[in-house]
A and B are shown apart, each in its own frame.
Chain A
């Protein structure tokens, strides 16, 4: 839908009770990040926000746009404008540092809490392992590895909203890719990390993570995979005991 107005009314949520409204010139080709940058450069230099690459690779510019978490550098205004107005706020479910910049620490802490780190199965002295990209396991792992850590899924998740310690979609999807990675050696550690009180079984399959993921990944199905895997591991352990 092409823009029909010359000016856009942009509401920026800056803290609990403060919303500032700016008139921003509309252009044919304009992203949400362009609008935020225009405000910072021409209207209010005190506006804080975060971005780096501007091409959807770094995952640092996600914000709430009209109540939907989005990567702002690759979201065109024509897609989100409600008439000639738009509301932009900081990412949901994370502590705000200032204005549109949130503290990503809890998000990254959970990434490691879910054992989302590489557990090497060989040393530098070993020959490079050959990986067949066609095996079902590798295909499953590949489905989730393009995550850019933007925390859109984390902001979209109602379970994170009601249960702050829940590991969340991104960290759990990472655990799922590692579980399917033949180069990773810590299967049991990963399963223990994601099957606890804050783990995958909190997920209610509401699907907002999958619907809003800007890279079109599917964390909900990855978490379903973890649920199956933990259930299988549980019965196996009981069988061995």
Chain B
């Protein structure tokens, strides 16, 4: 079957501008970037055992605003990847009807709204 299928198949471009595909690619890319970050993360953590003074020097870097921005990016990536994974597991493992999916999405959005309001209140007040 394989050879037959390969015979001058049309490669062609295809429009992927829809939320399901975007959710897929965002999940993938955030995963790849996090995987690239992990070795660096472990290397720095290992300094606690091998070279504590060097680790302290390294940790001073975190006061730099650029590093703070990078940390923010990292948290964003982690959040995106985690919720992407939860979405995928819910999508594939729970046989939901579409109205149930809408309810679940609405509940999640509401929970986030509440949590954000609480956060704003805690810091703003």
Contact = CB atoms under 8 A, between A and B. Distances in A.
A206 B10 contact: no
B1 A106 contact: yes
B12 to A, nearest CB: 4
Nearest to A93: B9
Contacts, number: 89
Contact of B2 (A91, A155, A161, A165): A165
B51 interface: no
Interface string B2-37: 101111111111111010110110000000000000
Interface string A203-222: 01111101100000000110
Given A90-B10, A161-B11, A106 B4 contact: yes
Nearest to B18: A211
A154 to B, nearest CB: 11
B84 to A, nearest CB: 11
8 closest A-B pairs by beta carbon, nearest first, are A207-B20, A164-B5, A67-B15, A92-B12, A106-B5, A224-B92, A206-B24, A211-B18
Contacts of A210: 20
Given A67-B14, A106-B4, A228-B92, A208 B21 contact: yes
Contacts of B12: 13, 64, 67, 89, 92
A69 B4 CA distance: 22
Given A66-B15, A89-B12, A91-B10, A206 B21 contact: yes
Interface string A7-45: 000000100000000000000000000000000000000
A68 B18 CA distance: 11
B88 interface: yes
B18 A164 contact: no
